[in-house]
């Protein structure tokens, strides 16, 4: 049996029939968080049914058709990930996940899914990995985005659950898109070797980046939290939009637009709350982070999507972010971006 670390106190391990009692106790805790979205928890209501679920996956794994793995945090089972479908003949598989409240906010599902995708593409030669999610399940959608997946479309009224039919979104990532392409140096400039961040520092910088991007999300009728922008930046921060040659008149370089926190937050908060920009979210698909003592730098590639003035759009771009260590922890000190 293998054990794959997911940080200091979390592990990814195969979930097998002999785990049935532990699995049932976990599902009882997870039921309020899982039941609203998928019928996963309804399949395990006692030890016999929990054993049957795990045995079904064991049988499918024996036929190379599915697999299931548990996520343990501090020795307690808190969630898991799985190949719900695995077809090596067609080169297509589907990944799924679930998690109880005690495991949230640590990125465990994303880390575990990355391990599954690495294996599917590198070891098994899969061509396409899919992610099926009920519309409105924003947590699951965010995982798909953090994995660099693309939203292929919506299967309208595809699935019936508790007497209602629900739309299902299909997301996917292809073998040629995985892993995400690293950001290249400018032509003629040799890239410097990466300076590795200590795991705890890197996790803190990842958290700041996730909080910044999540501040603008208003999908599923939710409200953005622009206060989070002030929390991740130092008060004197500078934010620069550098559309340059990408957004100006042909042959004319546009001047960079420089913001302080107030001038940056104000117009964006208005658009995200007055109906101009709805179903908006932005997510990171690639990054390179370097830490030098009490300062750090991050190159980031992102994607975004939403509905602006009634028209759906998708986009992408690049950011460069500077961080400083302050007496109260790491904070962003400046950011510049360009849309592509």
Domain architecture of the chain: domains with CATH: 4-177 (3.40.630.30), 199-339 (3.10.450.50)
With 0.85 as the threshold, say if the pTM is over it: no
pLDDT digits (tens, 9 = 90+) for 198-208: 557 888 898 89
Please tell me the distance from the alpha carbon of residue 52 to that of residue 284, in angstroms, as a whole number.
38
- Looking at every residue in the chain, the average pLDDT score rounds to 86
Say if residues 225 and 211 touch (Cβ distance below 8 Å): no
The pair of structure tokens assigned to 151 is 């939203």
* pLDDT for the residue numbered 301: 92
Q: Does residue 306 register a pLDDT over 60?
A: yes
* pLDDT for the residue numbered 137: 83
**CA nearest 124: which of 71, 69, 87, 154?**
87
pLDDT top residue among 181 and 201: 201
Interval 3-8 mean pLDDT: 82
The pair of structure tokens assigned to 319 is 């950011």
**Half-sphere exposure at residue 238, Cβ-oriented, CA atoms within 13 angstroms:** 8
H helix intervals, 64-198 = 108-118, 138-146
Interval 306-334 mean pLDDT: 92
Please tell me the distance from the alpha carbon of residue 325 to that of residue 296, in angstroms, as a whole number.
8
pLDDT digits (tens, 9 = 90+) for 229-250: 999 999 999 999 997 654 444 4
Q: Does residue 149 register a pLDDT over 70?
A: yes
* pLDDT for the residue numbered 98: 92
């Amino acid at each position: 049996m293998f054990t794959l670390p997911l940080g200091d106190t979390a592990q990814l391990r195969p979930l097998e029939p002999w785990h049935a009692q532990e699995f049932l106790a976990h599902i009882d805790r997870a039921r309020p968080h899982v039941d609203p979205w998928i019928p996963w928890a309804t399949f395990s209501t006692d030890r016999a049914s929990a054993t049957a679920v795990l045995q079904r996956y064991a049988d499918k794994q024996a036929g190379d058709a599915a697999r299931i793995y548990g996520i343990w945090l501090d020795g307690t089972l808190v969630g898991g990930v799985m190949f719900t479908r695995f077809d090596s003949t067609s080169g297509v598989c589907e990944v799924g996940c679930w998690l109880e409240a005690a495991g949230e906010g640590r990125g465990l599902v994303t880390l575990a899914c990355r391990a599954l995708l690495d294996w599917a593409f590198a070891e098994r030669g899969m061509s396409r990995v899919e992610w099926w999610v009920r519309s409105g399940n924003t947590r699951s959608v965010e995982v798909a985005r953090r994995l660099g997946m693309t939203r292929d479309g919506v299967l309208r009224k595809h699935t019936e659950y508790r007497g209602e039919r629900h739309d299902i979104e299909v997301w996917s990532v292809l073998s040629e898109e995985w892993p995400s392409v690293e950001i290249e140096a400018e032509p003629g400039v040799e890239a410097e070797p990466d300076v590795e961040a200590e795991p705890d520092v890197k996790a803190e910088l990842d958290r700041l980046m996730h909080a910044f991007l999540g501040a603008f999300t208003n999908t599923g009728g939710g409200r953005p939290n622009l206060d989070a922008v002030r929390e991740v930046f130092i008060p004197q921060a500078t934010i620069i939009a550098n559309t340059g040659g990408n957004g100006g008149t042909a042959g004319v370089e546009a001047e960079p637009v420089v913001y302080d926190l107030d001038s940056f937050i104000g117009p964006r908060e208005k658009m995200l709350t007055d109906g101009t920009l709805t179903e908006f979210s932005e997510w990171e698909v690639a990054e390179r982070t370097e830490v030098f003592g009490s300062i750090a730098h991050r190159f980031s590639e992102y994607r975004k999507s939403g509905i602006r003035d009634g028209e759906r759009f998708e986009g992408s771009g690049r950011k460069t972010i500077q961080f400083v260590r302050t007496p109260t922890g790491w904070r962003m000190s400046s950011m510049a971006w360009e849309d592509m």
